[in-house]
Amino acid sequence: MELDYDDTLNSLEGWDIAIIVVVFVLVLVVGIWSAWVSNRGTTKGYFLAGRSMSWWLGLFCLILLGFVFMPVYISAGVFTMPEYLKKRFGGERLRILLSVTAVVLIILTNISSEMYAGTIIIQQALNWDLYLSVCLLLAMTAAYTVAGGLTAVIYTDALQSVIMIGGATVLSVIAFIEIGGLENLYLKFMTSIPTPTFLAGNTSCGIPTEESWHIFRDATTSDLPWPGVLFGIFLLSAWYFCTNQVLVQRSLSAKNVTHSKAGTLLAAVLKLLPMILMIYPGMISRALWPDYVACQDSDTCTKVCGNPNGCSDIAYIRLLLKLMPTGLKGLMMAAMLAALMSSLTSVFNSASSIITLDLWVKVRPLATETELVIVGRLCTLILAVLSILWLPLIQLFGSGQLFVYIQSISSYMSPPIFAVYTTGMFSERVTEQGAFWGLLLGEVIGCTWMVLDFVFIAPPCGGVDERPLALQKIHYLHFALMNYAATVLFIVVISLLTKRIPRDKLIRLTWWTRKSELPRKPISEKENEKNWERELKKREKSAAEHTDEPPSGLRRIWNFVCGIESSPSDEPTPDDKEAMEKRMTSLEEDPKWARVVNVVCLVVLFLGFLAFGLFA
């Protein structure tokens, strides 16, 4: 029996396209406005939005970040995550190693996944030329990221979040009405077998199982074994939310530690929504169109979505284009495209922060504030080009494989990073030698396993698995746990064999010393003297670059784009820097609001455990 897969999705109408244009114009206006009103002329203003973001702009962080990690980061007074390790352990090699690893992770995981999501939306709904569409999106994204720094990123993200949550809520309601409620969804989902699979009658590929409705699944045979879900995903999530530059930078931009905690609480509440707004709608899409969303063989999947590896990733966009009415369809399309831009802006700004503040200063130790901000903007443009270069790779590997590879890359490379942060933050005995060699050995193990996983690709459903036994038996989430434990062991053993760091050099750098009022001695006196010499030379260089002559019109435009102010007051004085550092490292909280956020934290934790128990 030959099936017809030339199904045409409901195309976007004039009103849909008009709404998409309006939303994108609004996003650009917000980004440009934030560029005018923000302090963009210094690295603090560009990369940390001037430390003036209100709590309600916090996005998708976890309570662990706000209540445990952020107090230490704030008391340490850091811009980037590698900078924290530099202050905690001293030396340059650990900071450089972590910076390179972090940038590689951002490019391989964040950029590739966001670009892949964009290709699905564009190909399935808009039927535009892929490269032209993505180039236009990246141009818009880079424009307000370059212009406004983190301020533009956060304000536009706040606007896009409202659109996304509202549109997803409407689509979820319409989808549940279409399927006939949760009970009917269960019945239809469990019988949503692709027609070729049903006719073959001799395969289990593509047949839903009871495990689909539970978080905890079989520990050995499941695609998501419960030990990996309970411990491995927690480990990856803790790394992602608590030590990932993309997300920590949002919380570092908060006005104070109370705002940071409140933002993470809002994010934690929003984390309860994906089950209703994303997971259930995806299951409804499969239940309604199993021949398309759940196709199994490569020929069929190629006809359906152009991807021989599977078409499960078109579930949400298909649901949107089939069920949403005109107007709302355009609004939701705008929200999904805005989600792409939202994530990419965060990636651009955070990656450029690491490259500029952790790597470029090693190449140019005397770089002025102006130079650093310009380099940050150039990094954004380079990352935009890298995003476009990722597109052929995304199309080559396809959805299912690439998504699994992205999760695998995180499992292979992120546990050693998280091990360094947790041991360094909660143990004063950990030394620079232990942290560096532990991280290096952990990354070597992870990268070796990643290469093996790329070389020996898992077979499709029904195929013969000829991979080495270790790759067959060890799930990547289980490997993440083992690599984390191994890295911690390396760090502890090597640290115990080396000289410990004096406690007076760890003031406000660990959990136990975060509230100390004692002055902190520099890790290295020699390095501290070099820093002072560089600072004096930078100020002399900056003062020499400024003139009293008024800038020309073209120069003023250049200054605005690059975040350069015309007066030499851009370079803060030593007193200004001391006052700024004191404000940025303060953990003082209003007692009333501190109690409020603590009570809300308990309520959110209760809701989280309740939801976890409900779906376990």
Per-residue pLDDT reduced to its tens digit, 86-115: 889 988 888 888 888 888 888 777 777 777
CB 284 within 8 A of CB 98: no
| C-alpha neighbours within 13 Å on the C-beta side of residue 84 | 32
Find, among 573, 534, 524, 567, the residue nearest to 549 by Cα.
Answer: 567
Is residue 94 domain-resident? yes
Is residue 79 domain-resident? yes
Number of H helices, E strands in the chain: 30, 0
Question: Which of the two residues, 541 and 611, has the higher pLDDT score?
Answer: 611
Give the single-character DSSP code of 39: -
Report the pLDDT averaged over residues 12-27.
Answer: 75
Phi, psi of 520 (to 5 degrees): -95, 125
Mean pLDDT for all residues in the chain: 75
Q: How far apart are CA 228 and CA 165, in angstroms?
A: 29
The residue assigned the tokens 């490569």 is 298
Burial 104-135 (b: 16+ CB within 10 A, else e): ebbbbbbbbbbbbbbbbbbbbbbeeeeeebbb
Question: Which of the two residues, 171 and 486, has the higher pLDDT score?
Answer: 486
Find, among 256, 298, 247, the residue nearest to 462 by Cα.
Answer: 298
End-to-end CA distance of the chain: 40
Three-class DSSP category at 92:
coil
Phi-psi region of 180 (alpha: psi -120 to 50; beta: other; left: phi over 0): left
Is residue 258 domain-resident? yes
Find, among 355, 359, 353, 369, the residue nearest to 534 by Cα.
Answer: 369
Three-class DSSP category at 580:
helix
Burial environment of residue 26 by CB neighbours within 10 A (0 to 12, 13 to 18, 19 or more):
middle
Is residue 1 domain-resident? no
Is residue 5 domain-resident? no
With a cut of 80, say whether residue 366 has pLDDT above it. no
Report the pLDDT averaged over residues 196-217.
Answer: 68
Is residue 543 domain-resident? yes
Q: How far apart are CA 48 and CA 95, in angstroms?
A: 20
Domain interval for residue 578 = 14-615
- CATH number of 191's domain: 1.20.1730.10
Top-confidence range, 229-243, 299-313, 571-585: 229-243
Percent share of the chain, pLDDT over 90? 11
Question: Which of the two residues, 595 and 123, has the higher pLDDT score?
Answer: 595
Find, among 455, 522, 445, the residue nearest to 485 by Cα.
Answer: 445
* Number of Cβ within a 10 Å radius of residue 321: 20
Q: What pLDDT is attached to residue 43?
A: 41
24-74 per-position pLDDT tens digit: 777 667 666 655 555 444 444 434 443 333 333 333 346 788 888 888 888
With a cut of 50, say whether residue 297 has pLDDT above it. yes
What's the Rg (C-alpha) of the chain? 25
The partner residues of 53 in beta bridges, in order of sequence, read 254
Find, among 518, 521, 508, 503, the residue nearest to 587 by Cα.
Answer: 508
Report the pLDDT averaged over residues 316-342.
Answer: 79
Q: How far apart are CA 27 and CA 470, in angstroms?
A: 49
pLDDT category of residue 143 using cuts at 50, 70 and 90: low
Is residue 514 domain-resident? yes
The residue assigned the tokens 């410990």 is 500
Domain count, the chain: 1
Q: What pLDDT is attached to residue 141?
A: 66
With a cut of 60, say whether residue 274 has pLDDT above it. yes
The partner residues of 254 in beta bridges, in order of sequence, read 53
Is residue 3 domain-resident? no
Q: What pLDDT is attached to residue 349?
A: 72
Q: Which residues contact 47 (CB under 8 A, 6 or more apart)?
A: 79, 80, 149, 150, 249, 349, 352, 353, 356, 357, 376
399-443 per-position pLDDT tens digit: 455 566 677 888 899 999 999 999 999 999 999 999 999 999 999
Q: Which residues contact 343 (CB under 8 A, 6 or more apart)?
A: 110, 114
The residue assigned the tokens 């940025």 is 584
Instruction: Write the single-letter amino acid at 141.
Output: T
Q: How far apart are CA 306 and CA 531, in angstroms?
A: 56
Could you give the angle at which helices 476-496 and 233-242 cross, rounded to 10 degrees?
A: 60
Q: Which residues contact 270 (CB under 8 A, 6 or more apart)?
A: 59, 60, 165
